[in-house]
Chains A and B, each alone.
Chain A
Amino acid sequence: MIMVIGGAHQGKLAYARRLWPDIAWAGGRTCGEEEIFRCGGIYGFHEYIAGRMRDGADLSVLPGKLWAENPGIVIVTDEIGCGIVPAERHLREYRELTGRICTELAAVSAEVHRVLCGIGTRIK
């Protein structure tokens, strides 16, 4: 498992496509609930989480299931926890849960790359 993280609009997906040109990508906003367990890579992973939260799914099992069923996946995701804590409860839950899930996935990932201004730094 490999993660590519960073703020929005930093060139994360372009960076990942350069490093892994042959991957079949799924988009987090549009892909189905099960597609993530079969695709080579997913971009907009935070939007996948947002979608499953809207569905009312139990996301506590997601990191373990993803690691078990698709351990070779490349995950591209926005870091969304570095702003002011939002006034709306569901947004607070969304950014907190996204952080916890990504922390769990980063712990088992072989590589974590952080992209800033299109430039990736491997932090793990």
Chain B
Amino acid sequence: MFQLVTGGSGSGKSAYAEELLTVPVRLSDTSVLPHIYLATMKPYGKETLEKIRRHRRLRAGKGFVTVECPKGLDEVVLLENDGVLLECIANLAANELYREDGSLNGRQETADRILSGIRSIRRQTGHLVVVTNEVCADTGDYSSETREYMALLGALNRQLARMADTVTEVVYGIPVSVK
């Protein structure tokens, strides 16, 4: 099972994505395998650290093992698990697109690298939940670098939606089924 969850900022998509893996609790389940949380946020600056702390609070007690993976998803080898939550494609796309010196990697090769990473993760779990983000619904009046990022994320979202069994947009905590 591969489920894609999307939504805007502050939409409640993370909490919903976690529920897909952890609710309902299967009382008869004797499995002790962990859920794996693939974290993509690079911890720099006070605001990002606060975001990371908030997400950790949300996940606390839900049986997640966190694996930091800001880039290079295709090289990740996971332990045996009861499901993987990858959050989120918007961070991963930025980390893979922008080089340290501020220049950009090619859009197509970046998309291919990320998708190959997701296929690799998909092979290592029976239940993959991927969180992505809606960033293309405003004026679009941005620098060419930012427009390149939007095009990359849009292309990734379209491709992931084709691969996924279900696609859900979370709107203020309400799941709206798209596929």
Name A's B-contacting residues (CB within 8 A). 3, 5, 7, 79-85, 89, 92, 95-100, 102-103, 105-107, 112, 114, 123-124
Q: Which of B12, B138, B146, B176 contacts A82 (CB 8 A)?
A: B138
Tell me which residues from 39 to 91 in chain B have a Cβ below 8 Å from any Cβ of chain A. 47
For the complex formed, measure the closest distance between the CB of B104 and the CB atoms of chain A, giving whole angstroms.
16
- Given the known A-B contacts A89-B47, A106-B173, A123-B171, are A84 and B138 also in contact in the complex, defined by CB atoms under 8 Å? yes
Q: Which of B10, B134, B146, B149 contacts A100 (CB 8 A)?
A: B10
Asked if A107 and B173 make an inter-chain contact with CB atoms under 8 angstroms apart, the answer reads yes
Decide if B137 is an interface residue (CB 8 Å cutoff).
yes
Q: Which of A83, A89, A99 contacts B172 (CB 8 A)?
A: A99
Asked if A83 and B137 make an inter-chain contact with CB atoms under 8 angstroms apart, the answer reads yes
For the complex formed, measure the closest distance between the CB of B14 and the CB atoms of chain A, giving whole angstroms.
11
Asked if A82 and B173 make an inter-chain contact with CB atoms under 8 angstroms apart, the answer reads no
Asked if B172 and A103 make an inter-chain contact with CB atoms under 8 angstroms apart, the answer reads yes
Decide if B156 is an interface residue (CB 8 Å cutoff).
no
- Given the known A-B contacts A5-B171, A106-B173, are A84 and B10 also in contact in the complex, defined by CB atoms under 8 Å? no
Asked if A85 and B135 make an inter-chain contact with CB atoms under 8 angstroms apart, the answer reads yes
In the complex formed, the residue of B with least CB distance to A124 is B174
The docked-state distance in angstroms from the alpha carbon of A28 to that of B139 is: 23
Which 10 A-B pairs give the minimum distances between C-beta atoms? A99-B10, A83-B138, A81-B8, A81-B9, A82-B8, A82-B137, A106-B172, A82-B134, A103-B173, A103-B12
Asked if B174 and A83 make an inter-chain contact with CB atoms under 8 angstroms apart, the answer reads no
The docked-state distance in angstroms from the alpha carbon of A107 to that of B138 is: 26
Asked if B173 and A84 make an inter-chain contact with CB atoms under 8 angstroms apart, the answer reads no
Instruction: List residues of chain A with CB within 8 A of the CB of B149.
Output: 84
Instruction: List residues of chain B with CB within 8 A of the CB of A5.
Output: 171-172
Decide if B124 is an interface residue (CB 8 Å cutoff).
no
Q: List 11 A-B contacts (CB under 8 A).
A: A5-B172, A81-B11, A82-B8, A82-B9, A84-B149, A92-B47, A98-B10, A99-B12, A103-B12, A103-B173, A112-B174
